Amino acid sequence: MVQSSVLGFPRMGALRDLKKANEAYWADKLSQADLLAEGKRLRLAHWKIQKDAGVDIIPSNDFSFYDHVLDHIQLFNAVPERYTSQKLSPLDEYFAMGRGHQKGGVDVPALEMVKWFDSNYHYVKPTLQDNQTFSLAEDPKPVREFLEAKEAGFQTRPVLLGPVSFLALGKADRGSSVDPITLLDKLVPVYVQLLKALKAAGAESVQIDEPVLVFDLRPEVKSAFKPAYEAFAAEGSAIPSLVVATYFGDIVHNFDVLPAFSQVQGLHVDLVRNPEQLEPVLKQLGPSQILSAGVVDGRNIWKNNFQKSLNLLQTAVKALGPERVIVATSSSLLHTPHTLASEKKLPADVYEWFSFACEKVKEVAILAKAVTAPETVRAELDANAAAMKARAESTRTNDPKVKERQAQVTDAMHHRKSAFETRYAQQRKHLNLPLFPTTTIGSFPQTSEIRVQRNKFTKGEITEQEYDDFIKKEIDLAIQIQDELGLDVYVHGEPERNDMVQYFGERLQGYVFTTHAWVQSYGSRCVRPPIIVGDISRPAPMTVKESKYAASVSKKPMKGMLTGPVTCLRWSFPRDDVHQSVQCQQLALALRDEVIDLEKNGIFVIQVDEPALREGLPLRKGPERDAYLKWAVNSFKLATAGVEDSTQIHSHFCYSEFQDFFHAIAALDADVLSIENSKSDAKLLKVFIDEAYPRHIGPGVYDIHSPRVPPESEFKQRIQEMLQYLRPEQLWINPDCGLKTRKWDEVKGALTHMVNAAKYFREQYSKA
């Protein structure tokens, strides 16, 4: 019989319950005991959802209060000494690593946080020492949660991040030079100890995730699988059987690693992202190994095409037999919203196109039955076929005017009028900026009052004029604070914006929106991605009114703030029936109109954020990556190239891991580039010297994901480090990212220190 499996379930709950509980705990409004109780309630509810849906193999240890990689850091006692020395409770130590801790005489920053592969989820990077040791936590979380499920009547399969992936995704701490993969011999015995404990608790099988297998692996990492999994195999029946899970790509290029898994029970592969790997993988399996076939998309919200999935599953069953095939989600459902049942305002026809986590677990169970006994789920199969047909024939998806405009795009539309040197000469004269200019990335705190007023306006409880007046007062406040701080280029603070992608999506044709479809981005931060259902166009200006007003009451240059086409695409749920390059060009044309309108209305600094450009990069080098970078760069340039030389184009990027596609960053031709950099080693900026980068750069000088306010000395230290790699006239001073999630006292404190540090260097260099 074909079984069904889910690789992981969303953690937040139907109403972002975990977010609310975490934030109440951080604000000292909820006790630790109550927070832990809420976590248990959510776990039990999520296991029940999957069991009631008919899923055969339900995961445990997929729940996390902050991040599953951070869970493993604490699980293996790989916590840096700067946290253990503070003598915090285990839970507070855990949160300190995730978000920093600055109270009760303790002041420690967070560990570095980066994107999880090519998703919008962020993980905390294991940060390892030259003298690193590992040991198993006294009360191991995977064992505790397995027993919790067992006591409640759920037989689960614990999920672990595998030892090779854990180390390969880590880094050496500042001041250390260790290559994390060389620590494998120290880590594997701790995994063995954990697996034995799970076996003793009653676990029959363990899902062990090795997602780095989809990367191009350096030899040291590739060769690490053999000793690790031989050590597991040597334990025989003393440990549970293992299913090695991969996702977000194919593993064909790493087939030479598979002999290391000859003794594991089975292998999971992502057949949504790379269905073509099915037949090669089938040929690689051992005579009794199972295939976990990831056919239900863990990354998007479209209803599964049952017929398409069944074609793949039947191929697998024909090759292996039903007992050796598991129908599974392609990855954890962490990246999908909780349930479609909460959506009461979606158009009826569109509603039938979607499937969220609670619906996807049902799809997995239905498909498992349909492979060998389709008559038992005939009604479900027929309904699915009808939904596929209705979407394919819908008039929502196609706009001839959009396609006509795309056909008229020329190469010249992708290029500024002059080279940077000519542009900058005009910008310097026009904007009158000092050395080391200071600015912020865009958003200021979204206070409870802002959210209340936006909610009232959405519900029709206040008029449009009343709401506009309120927004103007918030803009006035933001400008007053920037005056007091002494920043050089202002932003209006974005009080009118709910989200940097949703706000634009609501003003574009081709999108639909949800009310409760939240997805975890990091920690307690959740986003509600809009959904692209058809061709995209801009009916009217989207940001001009607020930016024009802000400029009219500002003493300094006002920066217009837009989200770039690649990020609008990547941080939406995109269509799966049209190539992403087509959708991105449509977004670029809409934004081009907006950029030109901003300039016409007196906005001469315009920031077009592309924090998702790195995220969208295909995980492996090759033709797919080259093609992506070509259309992504062209989309940005199409959006921004329509302005005069005297208008300064900025862009912002999350994370400084851009060495492997630096040529694309340079090709964007942005006048000023700001990057998230505060938790990265400043020497990563050396690439700007090596590549003789001519334009201006603002590496982030402090971490906005943490409530911690760095002292002025820390800002000076960061700027001094940056000046080892960047020319003084090239350097802008700014935070890592927008300040939407922070409180005003945190913002004022940090920006005061930042501006003072910039003034210090300005004075030093003016004397030189």
Residues annotated within a binding site for L-methionine: 441-443, 494, 609
Name 452's Cβ contacts closer than 8 Å, sequence gap at least 6.
Answer: none
| Dist. CA 285–CA 266, nearest whole Å | 8
Name 146's Cβ contacts closer than 8 Å, sequence gap at least 6.
Answer: 60, 61, 156, 158, 198, 201, 202, 203
| Dist. CA 301–CA 190, nearest whole Å | 38
At residue 175, what are phi and psi to the nearest 5 degrees? Answer: 90, -5
Cα angle: 225, vertex 119, 242; to 5 degrees: 30
Name 655's Cβ contacts closer than 8 Å, sequence gap at least 6.
Answer: 114, 115, 614, 675, 676, 680
| Dist. CA 304–CA 353, nearest whole Å | 9
How crowded is residue 177: how many other Cβ atoms within 10 Å of its Cβ? 7
CA 749, chain centre distance (Å):
28
Which string of DSSP letters, residue by residue, matches 441-453? Answer: -SB----HHHHHH
Q: Name the token pair of 96.
A: 């300190």
| Dist. CA 490–CA 559, nearest whole Å | 6
| Dist. CA 739–CA 742, nearest whole Å | 6
Write the single-letter amino acid at 433.
L
For 48-65, give the secondary structure using H, E and C: HHHHHHCCCEEEECCCCC
Closest CA to 266 of 324, 332, 202, 194: 324
Q: Do 561 and 739 contact (CB within 8 A), yes or no?
A: no
Q: Name the token pair of 136.
A: 């198993």
For residue 95, what are the CA distances in angstroms to 88, 98, 234, 521? Answer: 10, 5, 36, 16
| Dist. CA 475–CA 495, nearest whole Å | 7
| Dist. CA 585–CA 589, nearest whole Å | 6
Q: Do 314 and 367 contact (CB within 8 A), yes or no?
A: no
For residue 248, what are the CA distances in angstroms to 177, 209, 242, 576? Answer: 30, 12, 20, 16
Closest CA to 574 of 634, 501, 507: 501
| Dist. CA 545–CA 536, nearest whole Å | 22
Q: Name the token pair of 622.
A: 């090759």
How crowded is residue 189: how many other Cβ atoms within 10 Å of its Cβ? 13
Q: How many CA atoms lie within 13 A of 312 on its CB side?
A: 29
Q: Do 293 and 246 contact (CB within 8 A), yes or no?
A: no
- For β-strands 605-609 and 525-527, DSSP reports them as unpaired
| Dist. CA 211–CA 246, nearest whole Å | 4
Interhelix angle 580-600/623-640, rounded to 10 degrees, is 20
Which position among 46, 338, 705, 753 bears the catalytic label?
705
Q: Name the token pair of 685.
A: 């900026």
Q: Name the token pair of 496.
A: 């009118």
Q: Do 272 and 330 contact (CB within 8 A), yes or no?
A: yes
What b/e sequence results for 572-589 when a residue is b if at least 16 CB atoms lie within 10 Å of its CB, and e otherwise? Answer: bbbbeeeebbebbbbbbb
Q: How many CA atoms lie within 13 A of 354 on its CB side?
A: 29
Q: Is 705 a catalytic residue?
A: yes
Closest CA to 98 of 13, 164, 120, 90: 90
| Dist. CA 733–CA 699, nearest whole Å | 7
Write the single-letter amino acid at 106.
V
Q: Do 532 and 514 contact (CB within 8 A), yes or no?
A: no
Q: Which residues are catalytic?
A: 705
